[in-house]
A and B are shown apart, each in its own frame.
Chain A
Amino acid sequence: MSEVISVVARNGAFQKNMITESFESDNSDNSDNEDYNMSGSDDDEEKPATRQIASDSDIMTPGELITDDPVWMRGHGTYFLENKTYSSVAGTVSKVNKLLSVIPLKSRYAPETGDHVVGRIAEVSNKRWKVDIGGKQHAILMLGSVNLPGGILRRKSESDELQMRSFLKEGDLLNAEVQSLFQDGAASLHTRSLKYGKLRNGMFVEVPNSLIVRSKNHTHNLPGNITVVLGVNGYIWLRMTSKMDLARDMPPGGSTQTSGGSMGPTGAVSLNPNSNISITRLEEESSWKIYSDENDPNITNAIKQTISRYANIIKALAFCEIGITQERIVIRYEASMAYNDIGSLIQRDNMENIGQEVLNAEKMRGSAA
């Protein structure tokens, strides 16, 4: 294969095989249905095959019959025709009491309170920002739910309302937490912690949100001086590790914090350089720096290359539909050192190798899900 371009040839006269297969299965379905109709007209009680509901682990496809029992209430992902309930999405069946719904395998991100998300400002409007988090609706970030510059918990004022674009403008990336959900399912975000805020010093990668597992911690320091923010919505930020990131991983009470210029990832400076940096205490001054657009001038080429390598690994894991966790990223990063040039990691067979090796390694250690 040439190093300039990798070309994968695909055959297929419009997926001929698929069509014949589905014809065959259609035929068999029809014969099944005919059988069932005949037996059904004979005796209404004896039709166990269709009275039974698909079990939880079954994957339903759009248009597939789930049940013809009318007692079930029809939830999301289903539709109802002539007393029969069909699936309208591809996914697994979920039953809660008498409510029947199909949870799609892939869908837009559905926010939940407490989720750590990465978003991009889509719109600046009256006292709020609309944030694209890859959901059905834009999330709302109220002016009152951000740290305002110069403020130990100061109140928002009219002048803040007038200069909202100087804090966050269209296109800006930030990480935030879902504070609550509105009636219509839209998320309300907040960045009232110094670990949230505008993102700098790195690169953005997007993966399907189904691959990110909700966990306690979504910010991880990786080998090679890189920090990753795995947003639950599938938006990922890779950046150079800041002092704040290092402080987060230290045991509480340690006095290893260096004095002076202790700048966090969001640009917050500790008022008292001798004390430990605390990422939740808002007494620390949030200056205008937290909304700066300047990157750290000390990002070396080596770090940029490492970020590209991590980005390619994450894309390869997403390509193989493997859930993205810190452990997997680190294992693959170390193994990817075998590929000297980062650009080869985007080739299809290398991506498949990466996915296969992750699965094999987890099988060997017995930690496969």
Chain B
Amino acid sequence: MTLSVAEKSYLYDALASTPSIRPDGRYPYQFMPIEIYTDFLPSSNGSSRIIASDGSECIVSVKAKVVDHTSDDDLLHIEIDIAGERDDALITESCTSLFNKLLKNIDMKKLQLTKKYSFKLFIDVLVISSNSNPVSLISFGIYSSLNSTSLPKLVSNFDDLEVEELPMFHDYDLVKLEVVPPLVFVLGIVKNNIFIDPAASECEVANNGLIISWTNGKIIAPIRTLALNDTNTKGFNPNLIQEGIKLVEKYASDIASALQNI
């Protein structure tokens, strides 16, 4: 996105003023409206399609496989594909590594079937279009797809170490997967103001950006800084990190409940 010099200085001045004025009038803590379709892929155990009002769109599918967790303890596998980017592009790789780290926070006990076997989840993310950094949208997508995931119900014994048997499943009964996936928030910094979910035009003038992750009421690692553009990036007051963390702590539970109540 290219903006003219006059547009950039107008946007910068508006965002840097107190209180900051965002181009679409949002509060610093307000997100763009989103639309979510859940469970729309018939061939996967859980899926979601999430569309932000600026046209960013992302599809997530969750598929499960029964594995022997005594030999394979990596029970979550995530693949991210961003339309228009190569598989080895910086943005794709950094997103994948971020989510691989983050999903370690999920309680793997919930995936365990028997003493020997577990479900292994394959999470495939496809970002169809994104106007700004897609990590926030991806995390919302993963959150709502895992929330809509149902797995086959186990009917055989839990303890299968002594009796050598393969897990058996009910013919049609499904059990809802109860995990709490982490959420990721992108914050933009302009001068001394910090705001959540920067739009493309706001990214273009931001001095810096923050990625803050959150799960279950608390901030978790990783917290990262992120250059949102190539031209305007500068250092920032370290107090803004604290301010950003406070902002996320205060409003993240609202997001989580909004995503759950769909």
Chain A residues in the interface with B (C-beta under 8 A): 2-14, 120, 170-173, 198-204, 293-295, 299, 301, 304-305, 308-309, 311-312, 315, 341-343, 345-348
Contact of A305 with B7 at beta-carbon distance under 8 Å, contacts A5-B30, A5-B254, A12-B40 already known: no
Question: Do B6 and A9 have beta carbons less than 8 Å apart?
Answer: no
B180 adjacent to chain A (CB < 8 Å): no
Question: Do A200 and B36 have beta carbons less than 8 Å apart?
Answer: no
Question: Do A342 and B6 have beta carbons less than 8 Å apart?
Answer: no
Point out which of B10, B31, B40, B41 has the most chain A C-beta atoms below 10 A from its C-beta. B10
B13 adjacent to chain A (CB < 8 Å): yes
A164 to chain B, nearest CB (A): 15
A336 to chain B, nearest CB (A): 10
Closest residue to A8 on the B side, CB-wise? B35
Please give, as numbers and ranges, the residues of chain A lying within 8 Å of B22 by CB-CB distance. Answer: 308, 343
Contact of A171 with B2 at beta-carbon distance under 8 Å, contacts A5-B255, A308-B21, A342-B25 already known: yes
Please give, as numbers and ranges, the residues of chain A lying within 8 Å of B5 by CB-CB distance. Answer: 171-172, 293
Question: Do B262 and A343 have beta carbons less than 8 Å apart?
Answer: no
B254 to chain A, nearest CB (A): 4
Closest residue to B251 on the A side, CB-wise? A4
Closest residue to B36 on the A side, CB-wise? A9
Q: Contact flags (1/0) for B1-42 with A, using CB distance below 8 Å?
A: 011111101110110010001111111011111111111111
With A and B bound together, what is the CA distance between A301 and B10 in angstroms?
Answer: 11
Extra inter-chain contacts (20) besides given A7-B262, A172-B5, A299-B13, CB under 8 Å: A2-B258, A4-B31, A5-B34, A6-B34, A7-B35, A7-B259, A8-B35, A13-B40, A14-B40, A171-B5, A198-B4, A201-B6, A203-B10, A294-B9, A295-B9, A295-B10, A304-B21, A341-B27, A343-B30, A346-B26
Please give, as numbers and ranges, the residues of chain B lying within 8 Å of A341 by CB-CB distance. Answer: 25, 27
B242 adjacent to chain A (CB < 8 Å): no
A341 to chain B, nearest CB (A): 7
A147 to chain B, nearest CB (A): 18
Question: Do B262 and A9 have beta carbons less than 8 Å apart?
Answer: yes
Please give, as numbers and ranges, the residues of chain A lying within 8 Å of B29 by CB-CB distance. Answer: 4
Which residues of chain B from 214 to 262 have a CB within 8 Å of any chain A CB?
Answer: 251, 254-255, 257-259, 261-262
Question: Do A4 and B30 have beta carbons less than 8 Å apart?
Answer: yes
Question: A4 touches which one: B17, B24, B258, B262 (CB < 8 A)?
Answer: B258
With A and B bound together, what is the CA distance between A203 and B32 in angstroms?
Answer: 19
Please give, as numbers and ranges, the residues of chain B lying within 8 Å of A11 by CB-CB distance. Answer: 37
B71 adjacent to chain A (CB < 8 Å): no
Contact of A8 with B7 at beta-carbon distance under 8 Å, contacts A311-B24, A342-B25, A343-B27 already known: no
Closest residue to A343 on the B side, CB-wise? B26
Question: B4 touches which one: A199, A308, A345 (CB < 8 A)?
Answer: A199
Point out which of A3, A4, A9, A348 has the most chain B C-beta atoms below 10 A from its C-beta. A4
With A and B bound together, what is the CA distance between A293 and B10 in angstroms?
Answer: 10
With A and B bound together, what is the CA distance between A4 and B27 in angstroms?
Answer: 8
Please give, as numbers and ranges, the residues of chain B lying within 8 Å of A170 by CB-CB distance. Answer: 2
Please give, as numbers and ranges, the residues of chain B lying within 8 Å of A305 by CB-CB distance. Answer: 21, 25
With A and B bound together, what is the CA distance between A309 and B23 in angstroms?
Answer: 9
Question: Do A204 and B21 have beta carbons less than 8 Å apart?
Answer: no
With A and B bound together, what is the CA distance between A9 and B6 in angstroms?
Answer: 39
B247 to chain A, nearest CB (A): 10
Q: Contact flags (1/0) for B122-145 with A, using CB distance below 8 Å?
A: 000000000000000000000000
B interface residues, tally (CB under 8 Å): 42
Please give, as numbers and ranges, the residues of chain B lying within 8 Å of A199 by CB-CB distance. Answer: 4, 6
A182 to chain B, nearest CB (A): 25
Question: Do B25 and A312 have beta carbons less than 8 Å apart?
Answer: yes
A200 to chain B, nearest CB (A): 4
Please give, as numbers and ranges, the residues of chain A lying within 8 Å of B17 by CB-CB distance. Answer: 301, 304
B104 to chain A, nearest CB (A): 26
Please give, as numbers and ranges, the residues of chain B lying within 8 Å of A6 by CB-CB distance. Answer: 33-34, 258
Q: Contact flags (1/0) for B106-130 with A, using CB distance below 8 Å?
A: 0000000000000000000000000
A251 to chain B, nearest CB (A): 31
Question: Do B25 and A309 have beta carbons less than 8 Å apart?
Answer: yes
Question: Do A299 and B258 have beta carbons less than 8 Å apart?
Answer: no
Closest residue to B259 on the A side, CB-wise? A7
With A and B bound together, what is the CA distance between A157 and B259 in angstroms?
Answer: 62
Please give, as numbers and ranges, the residues of chain A lying within 8 Å of B32 by CB-CB distance. Answer: 346
Question: Do B33 and A3 have beta carbons less than 8 Å apart?
Answer: no
Contact of A2 with B254 at beta-carbon distance under 8 Å, contacts A8-B33, A199-B4 already known: yes
Question: Do B6 and A13 have beta carbons less than 8 Å apart?
Answer: no
Please give, as numbers and ranges, the residues of chain B lying within 8 Å of A173 by CB-CB distance. Answer: 4, 6-7
Cross-chain pairs A/B with CB under 8 angstroms, 30 sampled = A4-B30, A4-B254, A5-B30, A6-B34, A7-B33, A7-B258, A7-B262, A8-B34, A9-B262, A10-B36, A10-B37, A11-B37, A13-B42, A172-B4, A173-B4, A198-B4, A203-B23, A204-B3, A293-B9, A295-B6, A304-B17, A308-B21, A312-B24, A312-B25, A315-B24, A345-B25, A346-B25, A348-B33, A348-B35, A348-B53
Question: Do A293 and B6 have beta carbons less than 8 Å apart?
Answer: yes
Question: Do A198 and B6 have beta carbons less than 8 Å apart?
Answer: yes
Closest residue to A9 on the B side, CB-wise? B262
With A and B bound together, what is the CA distance between A107 and B121 in angstroms?
Answer: 42
Please give, as numbers and ranges, the residues of chain B lying within 8 Å of A347 by CB-CB distance. Answer: 33
With A and B bound together, what is the CA distance between A151 and B34 in angstroms?
Answer: 51
Question: Do B42 and A14 have beta carbons less than 8 Å apart?
Answer: yes
Question: Do A311 and B23 have beta carbons less than 8 Å apart?
Answer: yes
Please give, as numbers and ranges, the residues of chain B lying within 8 Å of A203 by CB-CB distance. Answer: 7, 10-11, 23
A189 to chain B, nearest CB (A): 16
Please give, as numbers and ranges, the residues of chain B lying within 8 Å of A120 by CB-CB distance. Answer: 2, 4
B66 to chain A, nearest CB (A): 25
Please give, as numbers and ranges, the residues of chain A lying within 8 Å of B6 by CB-CB distance. Answer: 172-173, 198-201, 293-295
